[in-house]
């Protein structure tokens, strides 16, 4: 009888930050699947899934001849996935978070590796790999006041489902608080190595703060099944959302950078 594989199921999630082009030469076999967000399908031709915003322009979608085995998903698919994690108000209504939750829900990876999703926009001459683009996370949106907290929540929600979120970025700053690995380190990970990393992270989690964050979320009930939370802004208390953000940050032992970077505030 053949021995069970010790290779973890690793999915690469690519956004549109300029440094995403680093992955162009990375071997496809390093990943079980590649998920592209919005315009990131242009980065390399061998992506498996495209997750795009509901208002993504149709003329920016990949041509039919690119699809073959690839698949495209939008709001009809990611809204139910996001709802299974508590909804957009708490998860954060930006596509980096939305695509991540969809991937964890639908693909069940052991490792979700991010590239081009750091959400740092202080180089106005080139905000995206294709030039100047709209910085989706920096719009005026009550769910995006603290992107670090949203990534802390994602990290813990993923761990509850036995998925490790890591960041492949080599930029000096990131709004993602995930552990950083190089491609070589990622390729060297075994199932046992992933389990060790998960255990190390969990050992440093303030579980009381994480439990309290979830209790407050459930108590407030900011859940909108159709995902259109922007139609209910008068019901959402941003002060309470800020309290929840602080709890998630406290749970991972993080403090917010002094330079806020976000035009959403």
* Residue 207 covered by a domain: yes
Is 4 part of any domain? no
**Which residues, given as ranges, of the chain have pLDDT below 70?**
1-5, 123-139, 255-265
- Look at the chain and report how many structural domains it folds into: 1
What's the pLDDT tens digit per position in 25-79? 999 999 999 999 999 999 999 999 999 998 888 988 998 877 777 899 999 999 9
**What does pTM read for this prediction?**
0.89
- Cβ atoms of 176 and 118 within 8 Å: the answer is yes
pLDDT for 67: 77
Residue 259 placed within a domain: no
> How many of the other CB atoms lie within 10 Å of CB of 177?
20
260 located within any domain? no
Nearest 5°: the CA angle 10, 12, 15 is 160
**pLDDT value at position 263?**
29
Domain span including residue 247: 10-251
Residue 15 belongs to some domain of the structure: yes
In a domain? residue 263: no
In a domain, 39, yes or no: yes
Q: What is the C-alpha separation between 30 and 204, in angstroms, rounded? A: 29
């Amino acid at each position: 009888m053949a021995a069970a594989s010790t290779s973890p199921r690793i999915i690469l999630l690519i956004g549109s930050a300029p440094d995403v082009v680093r992955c162009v030469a990375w071997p496809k076999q390093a990943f079980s699947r590649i998920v592209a967000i919005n315009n990131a399908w242009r980065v390399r031709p061998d992506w498996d899934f495209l997750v795009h915003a509901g208002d993504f322009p149709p003329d920016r979608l990949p041509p039919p001849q690119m699809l073959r085995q690839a698949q495209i998903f939008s709001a009809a698919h990611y809204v139910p996935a996001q709802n299974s994690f508590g909804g957009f108000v708490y998860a954060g209504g930006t596509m980096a978070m939305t695509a991540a939750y969809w991937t964890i829900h639908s693909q069940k990876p052991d490792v979700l590796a991010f590239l081009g999703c750091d959400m740092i926009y202080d180089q106005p001459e080139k905000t995206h790999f294709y030039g100047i683009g709209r910085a989706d996370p920096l719009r005026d949106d009550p769910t995006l006041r603290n992107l670090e907290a949203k990534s802390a929540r994602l990290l813990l929600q993923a761990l509850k489902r036995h998925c490790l979120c890591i960041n492949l970025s080599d930029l000096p700053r990131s709004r993602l608080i995930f552990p950083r690995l190089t491609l070589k380190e990622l390729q060297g990970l075994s199932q046992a190595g992933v389990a060790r990393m998960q255990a190390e992270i969990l050992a440093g989690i303030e579980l009381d703060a994480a439990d309290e964050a979830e209790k407050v979320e459930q108590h407030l009930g900011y859940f909108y099944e159709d995902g259109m939370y922007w139609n209910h802004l008068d019901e959402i208390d941003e002060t309470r959302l800020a309290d929840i953000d602080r709890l998630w940050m406290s749970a991972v032992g993080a403090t917010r950078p002094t330079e806020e970077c976000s035009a959403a505030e």
